[in-house]
Amino acid sequence: MTEKLSINGKDAWVMVEPHILEGEEQGEAHKEYFIAYYTLQEPGLAGGKIFMEEDDRPKLFASPVEALEFATEELLRVLA
């Protein structure tokens, strides 16, 4: 899913994609999370910057809505 946001007069595109975590133990169900990344140019023209945890792992979200809300808050700081 790709959402175009306009923040502080600047455009940003946020992409949200599913991310499957394999079950750690045999028989454990796979868990679906979502990752989000953004670009300040139209998608396809440049790579995006993924939202990361402090330990350099991709930040995982329980839903696309949660990912988009987080991205909006972060971009408010980035594009200030």
- For the chain, residues with pLDDT lower than 70 are 23-30, 45-46
Structural domains of the chain, count: 1
pTM of the full structure: 0.82
Which pLDDT score is estimated for 52? 95
- The pair of structure tokens assigned to 71 is 């991205």
Q: Is 25 helix (H, G, I), strand (E, B) or coil?
A: coil
**Other beta carbons less than 10 A from residue 38's beta carbon:** 21
Which pLDDT score is estimated for 43? 80
pLDDT for 58-71, tens place per residue?
999 999 999 999 99
Domain residues for the domain of 73 are 2-78
